[in-house]
Amino acid sequence: TAVLVDPKSNKSLLINTRLVEPFSAKLGSLFQFIGELDAPTGSLDVSLVARVVRCVDGLDMTLYHQAIHAQRQYLKEEPSL
């Protein structure tokens, strides 16, 4: 398992990495995870069961956020999607 912490909000998320083993992380690195959220019935605790993980150190985060914003705007405005 891994715990991701957002440095801006100080919020954390538990990541179940059993499907992407072996997984080694360097403290302070940026990672992107794709998977399913898991919340046990009756529990407010949510974790992510990771299926894909990649290190994104060196990614231009400003440009990445601009691209995500543009995609969301497009999908919101496109009625057929």
Residue 43 pLDDT exceeds 80: no
**Confidence band of 69 (pLDDT split at 50, 70, 90):** very high
Residue 45 pLDDT exceeds 60: yes
What is the pTM (predicted TM-score) of this model?
Answer: 0.69
Domains, the chain, in order of start with CATH, read 2-77 (2.40.50.140)
Q: Which residue has the tokens 């072996």?
A: 22
Residue 58 pLDDT exceeds 70: yes
Q: What's the confidence (pLDDT) of residue 29? A: 83
Tokens read off for 47: 């974790």
**What are the backbone dihedrals phi and psi of residue 46, each rounded to the nearest 5 degrees, phi first?**
-115, 140
Q: What is the mean predicted confidence (pLDDT) over 58-70? A: 95
Q: Specify burial of residue 24 (Cβ count, 10 A radius: 0-12, 13-18, 19+).
A: exposed
Q: What's the confidence (pLDDT) of residue 81? A: 56
Q: How far apart are CA 18 and CA 8, in angstroms?
A: 27
**What are the backbone dihedrals phi and psi of residue 55, each rounded to the nearest 5 degrees, phi first?**
-80, 130
